[in-house]
Amino acid sequence: MNKLASSRPKTIDQVKASLPKRHLSEKVFRSIGLISIIISLMFLFVLFYTIVSKGYTAFQQTFIQLEVNFDERLLDPEGTRHRDALSTADYGGLIKASLSKLFPEVTTRNEKRLLYSLVSTGAAYQLRERVMDNPALIGQTQQVWVPVDDEVDMLIKGHTLRDVPEAERRLRDVQIAWLDQLEAKEKLALKFNTAFFINGDSREPELAGIWGALMGSIYTLIVTLILSFPIGFATAVYLEEFAPKNKWIDLIEVNINNLAAVPSIIFGLLGLAVFINFMSFPRSAPLVGGLVLAFMTLPTIIIASRGALKSVPPSIREAALGVGASTMQAVYFHVLPLAIPGMLTGVIIGMARALGETAPLLMIGMVAFIVDIPSNILDPATALPVQIFLWADSPERAFVERTSAAIIVLLGFLFVMNALAIILRKKFEHRW
Amino acid sequence: MATRLEGHTFRRFDGELARLHTEILQMADLVYDQIQMALESFQQQKLDIIRVVNEREPQVDAMEKSIDNTITEILAKRCPVARDLRVIMAFSKLVTDLERLGDEAAKIAYITTTLYNNEHSNPSNYLLRDITVMGKFACALLKEAIENLDILDLERAEKLLNSHDDLDEEFQSSLRRLATYVLEDARNVGHIINIVLVMKSLIRIGEHARNLAEYVVYMVSGEDIRHAEIEQT
Amino acid sequence: MTDIAKIAQPSNQIERRKGDRRKHTRIHLSRATVSRDNRRTVGEATVSDPRIHCTDVNVFYGDKPALRNVTLDIGCQEIIAMIGPSGCGKSTFLRCLNRMNDTIECCRVTGSIMIDGQDINDKSIDVVPLRAKIGMVFQKPNPFPKSVYENIAFGPRIHGLAKDKVELDEIVVTSLKRTGLWEEVKDRLDQPGTSLSGGQQQRLCIARTIAVNPEVILMDEPCSALDPIATTKIEELMDQLCTDYSIVIVTHSMQQAARVSHRTAYFHLGDLIEVGTTEQIFTKPVHQLTEDYITGRFG
């Protein structure tokens, strides 16, 4: 016995001998994990930094203060105060008059054109709106802040450099000189860019806003939600709780899993062929977009919901069946309440994917330039990610910062939706 | 067919049962030895052996206590059921019979001393002849019963229980014979009373031997055949 | 005969009578032990007034037989225990009795299981009333993740056993009192059932079952997840309940079967080997396999 024990090395010694190697491999593995996390965080940081640093300036816009004389002769020569007359009046003339008053030395036609181009074309619309709102303004003189042209905006914000040779920039030296004078007189100021949030798309960057795209996205998502939520839920519940186990059901399951992996542009093609060509739904409408995105998110929702249902312990079903509940009652009263948080998470993640989806929307024409803000699901509309795509394509320098700003808004929405998913899950889980 | 007590998946239980079985057998052997020695001394007037019998009597009692203790332990720790339970219950009962057998030996030893340690003459050999015959029968019965305690054979136990009751028959005829001796010579009465008492002991030894066989039947088959005759009527 | 002989007479006669009887007592040991190879059920599988009457029940999982030719009666007001090694089919048999095997896809049951003159395997039988009649308690306490009150009220509610809230309250209170849980939980009826201790949860499950007022209660190893004190409480509860219900309990603890049941059935590899009163099974089992199992001589 003793001999046997002594001839064999003690277990503890063998364990000790192997310990350094084990500790080392554990350390290596842990550091690999840590490094990967750091790298991914770095990428994330770089992404956010680039977007935010490029985009935050878009939330501000340079305004110019003009002393506008709402001259009755120019606006309403007949003095009728008729709305038609007021809306067609020459508000651009008011701006030009005020600018000329600021710089009386500008006389040549060419220089005047340069001077007038400093102010955004949208300034005239702004004045018109003021007058339409309050016709009593006519005849008065007021200090009005109006947006400047996007090139001026870029210069003030420092995106356009002054030391570039004159031929290579859009602003002439003389224009910069005027701007310096205005700045010295504190006639130029950066203000919060309300237009960005309440306007539709525009060719003029200083007038372009995301509200139209946002509404398009919201309408699209509402259609998607209304379709995919009940269908996805019902499918998942049927497949998980009621379906017999046979090869047809297996086939359906395999196909659902495959659909989740189909590239989204294929769904766009499907939408184009079926809804627009075959069923003649309006092009560019959130209805069609919603239908297509519903197709796309259904597999995601079904798979996530089935996972949530699967994770409900079978003992709960047995307990319900054991006291004589029908399958329906067992599912409705006991399984669903437990699965709902997981199912909702699946839905919201599906929705978030739909919100960020571009490719299928391109196929059904939601990529058009649409200035008007859609008011229902049949109006032509575009969506946030498509708007970003469109702006990223535009040549104007000012659209660069607007693209980033739109991305910030989109990310914000995604963030809110994910937070909502977490809050909902927590709320339902905490009920018991 | 002999009965196996071992074969438990938890082997220590086997060991505990085997230890109990051995203790029972040791006690049975001791008791058998005591009875034989007491009888021998009674028949051959060997008073020195009586001393040995008396000295070993507490040993029998001690063994009974030790066995009871072992049984309590096993009951507490193993919660035996079925055959294990029957074996242990039978052992627990049977140890009482063994202790009684020891008492009978002591009784015979006591009668022996009173028989020989008095002013009267020793009993004549023809008075003791019946004891010899009955003693032989009783010892044979007990030996068979004790041997069967070792192997726990149902058939042997059955055979023993169904065997002709020679002891009882012998007792009946001896009583008649002894009665005639009393009539012949009234002075024999003292001896004959003692002799009848020893005979009674021998009868009881036979009964205890049968009890042992009954316990073996119970252990092996689960059939409780004690007082079977009363149940039948 | 002399005087002395006469005096000796009475005792003489007593001795003789006893001796005579001894001589004529023939021991016949009819209960020979049944060998291990015999797989037919031994013992009394039927009772005179059965609540459930099973004849030749076979269960297959796919092609694999899990239970072969089981004929067994469940009597009224009795606790019958099913014992046997794992995979012997005792749980399968239990789940046949309220058709819980329906939830397993490839499971097929043949033979007849009669309750109140109906075969429960009949296609026309609706499992909902069947399961209301034959309640079940599971191995792991599985209260619904709802309040204590809701746990018990669920069954009566779906079966429409209570006309109004007052009646429902009464059923809940009665069920809790019968299971001895009332004193322990009366102040926290609105707290989740899962917040109770293991033993309380299991008693809650039993209360939930008896709230539907079944005729038979099936228990699938109800104490295997509980400590000894909780186990004792459940056993006492079963003893109380068996005046009103037939209880079928599957248990791995032979001691538990011995403690609570009136009859015991031993299953071995899909065969019902032996049925008998619990006293008989645990003192003198007839079948060698039964004895091997209960004395711990398996393998």
The CATH number of whichever domain residue B50 belongs to comes to: 1.20.58.220
Amino acid letter, A392: A
Chain B residue closest to C256 (CA)? B79
Contact C178, C259 (CB under 8 A): no
Q: Is the pLDDT of residue A50 over 50?
A: yes
Which pLDDT score is estimated for B212? 94
Chain A contacts of C209, Cβ < 8 Å? Answer: 322-323
Which pLDDT score is estimated for C14? 43
Confidence of residue A2 (pLDDT cuts 50, 70, 90): low
Task: Give the closest of A318, A329, A432 to C146, CB-based.
Answer: A432
Q: Is the pLDDT of residue C299 over 50?
A: yes
Cα(C57)–Cα(C94) distance, rounded to whole angstroms?
11
Confidence of residue C18 (pLDDT cuts 50, 70, 90): very low
Cα(C199)–Cα(C237) distance, rounded to whole angstroms?
12
Q: Is the pLDDT of residue C2 over 80?
A: no
What phi and psi, each to the nearest 5 degrees, are found at residue A147?
-70, 145
Residue C284: partners with Cβ closer than 8 Å, 6 or more residues away: B82, B86, B221, B222, B223, C31
Contact C97, C134 (CB under 8 A): yes
Q: CB-based contact (8 Å) between C262 and chain A?
A: no
Contact B8, C296 (CB under 8 A): yes
Chain A contacts of C138, Cβ < 8 Å? Answer: 315, 318-319, 322
Cα-to-chain-centroid distance, residue A280: 28
Q: CB-based contact (8 Å) between C97 and chain A?
A: no
Chain A residue closest to C133 (CA)? A324
CB-based contact C158 A337, cutoff 8 Å: no
ipTM: 0.80
What phi and psi, each to the nearest 5 degrees, are found at residue C138?
-100, 170
Higher pLDDT pick, B75 / A8: B75
Contact C257, C249 (CB under 8 A): yes
Question: What does DSSP say about strands A188-192 and C118-119: parallel, antiparallel, or unpaired?
Answer: unpaired
Q: Is the pLDDT of residue C7 over 50?
A: no
Mean pLDDT of all residues in chain A? 87
Angle at C199 between CA C194 and CA C204, to 5 degrees: 60
Q: Is the pLDDT of residue C26 over 70?
A: no
Instruction: Kindly report, residue by residue over A105-126, the tens digit of the pLDDT.
Output: 888 888 888 888 888 888 888 8
**Average pLDDT of span A149-168:** 83
Amino acid letter, B142: L
CATH of region A211-429: 1.10.3720.10
Domain containing B166: what range? 11-227
Q: CB-based contact (8 Å) between A336 and chain C?
A: no
Q: Is the pLDDT of residue C6 over 70?
A: no
Cα-to-chain-centroid distance, residue B11: 32
Confidence of residue B229 (pLDDT cuts 50, 70, 90): low
**Average pLDDT of span A161-169:** 80
Which pLDDT score is estimated for B18? 92
Mean pLDDT of all residues in chain C? 85
Chain A contacts of C100, Cβ < 8 Å? Answer: 318, 321-322
Which pLDDT score is estimated for B230? 40
Task: Give the closest of B7, B85, B222 to C31, CB-based.
Answer: B222
Which pLDDT score is estimated for B26? 95
CB-based contact C103 A321, cutoff 8 Å: yes
Instruction: Kindly report, residue by residue over B109-134, the tens digit of the pLDDT.
Output: 999 888 887 777 777 777 888 888 89
Residue B2 lies in a domain: no
Contact A116, A99 (CB under 8 A): yes
Distance from CA of A315 to the nearest CA of C (A): 6
> What domains sit in chain C, N to C, each tagged with a CATH number?
40-294 (3.40.50.300)
Residue A419: partners with Cβ closer than 8 Å, 6 or more residues away: none
Q: Is the pLDDT of residue C17 over 70?
A: no
Q: Is the pLDDT of residue A95 over 60?
A: yes
Q: Is the pLDDT of residue C8 over 50?
A: no
Q: CB-based contact (8 Å) between A337 and chain C?
A: yes
Instruction: Kindly report, residue by residue over C222-269, the tens digit of the pLDDT.
Output: 998 888 888 998 899 899 998 989 999 999 988 999 999 999 999 998
Chain B contacts of C258, Cβ < 8 Å? Answer: 81
Confidence of residue B28 (pLDDT cuts 50, 70, 90): very high
What phi and psi, each to the nearest 5 degrees, are found at residue C59?
-125, 135
**Which region among A2-6, A260-264, C161-165 has the lowest average model confidence (pLDDT)?**
A2-6
CB-based contact C131 A321, cutoff 8 Å: yes
Higher pLDDT pick, C298 / A60: A60
Residue with tokens 């069967």: B148
Higher pLDDT pick, C11 / C206: C206
Distance from CA of C258 to the nearest CA of B (A): 9
Q: Is the pLDDT of residue A430 over 80?
A: no
Provide, rounded to the nearest whole percent, the portion of chain A with pLDDT above 90: 30
Rg (Cα) of chain C, in Å, rounded? Answer: 25
Q: Is the pLDDT of residue A3 over 80?
A: no
Provide, rounded to the nearest whole percent, the portion of chain C with pLDDT above 70: 89
Q: Is the pLDDT of residue B105 over 90?
A: yes
Residue B5 lies in a domain: no
Higher pLDDT pick, C219 / C104: C219
Q: Sheet harboring A141-147: ordered strands across?
A: A141-147, A60-69, A188-192
Residue B165 lies in a domain: yes
Which pLDDT score is estimated for B232? 37
Q: Is the dihedral of CA B198, B203, B207, B212 positive or negative?
A: positive
Contact A338, A312 (CB under 8 A): yes
Task: Give the closest of B162, B179, B217 to C26, CB-based.
Answer: B162
Q: Exposed e or buried b for every residue in A59-89, given b needs 16+ CB within 10 A?
A: bbbbbbbbebebbeeebbeeeeeeeeebeeb
CB-based contact C154 A315, cutoff 8 Å: no
Distance from CA of B85 to the nearest CA of C (A): 7
Cα(B16)–Cα(B26) distance, rounded to whole angstroms?
15
Cα(A82)–Cα(A89) distance, rounded to whole angstroms?
11
The DSSP line for C105-134 is TTEEEEEEEEETTEETTSTT--HHHHHHHE
Which pLDDT score is estimated for C251? 92
Q: Exposed e or buried b for every residue in C166-189, given b needs 16+ CB within 10 A?
A: eebeebbebbbebbbbbebbeeeb
Q: Is the pLDDT of residue A8 over 80?
A: no
What is the total count of domains within chain B?
1
Residue B6 lies in a domain: no
**Average pLDDT of span B228-233:** 44
Instruction: Kindly report, residue by residue over A377-423, the tens digit of the pLDDT.
Output: 888 888 999 999 999 888 888 888 899 999 999 999 999 988 988 88
Distance from CA of A262 to the nearest CA of C (A): 32
Reported as type and span, the H/E element at residue C54 is strand C50-61
- Please choose, from the candidates A349, A338, A355, the residue with its C-alpha nearest in 3D space to the C-alpha of residue A304: A349
Interface of B with C (CB under 8 A): 7-10, 13, 79-86, 154, 158, 161-162, 164-165, 168-169, 171-172, 175-176, 179, 182-183, 203, 210, 217, 221-223, 225, 228-229, 232
Higher pLDDT pick, C12 / C114: C114
Which pLDDT score is estimated for A225? 93
**Average pLDDT of span A240-244:** 88
Instruction: Kindly report, residue by residue over A310-326, the tens digit of the pLDDT.
Output: 998 888 888 898 888 88
A/B touch flag: 3 or more CB pairs below 8 Å: no
Chain A contacts of C248, Cβ < 8 Å? Answer: none
Q: Is the pLDDT of residue C32 over 70?
A: no
Instruction: Kindly report, residue by residue over C113-155, the tens digit of the pLDDT.
Output: 998 888 988 888 888 889 989 999 998 899 998 899 999 999 9
Higher pLDDT pick, C22 / A268: A268
Which pLDDT score is estimated for A5? 55
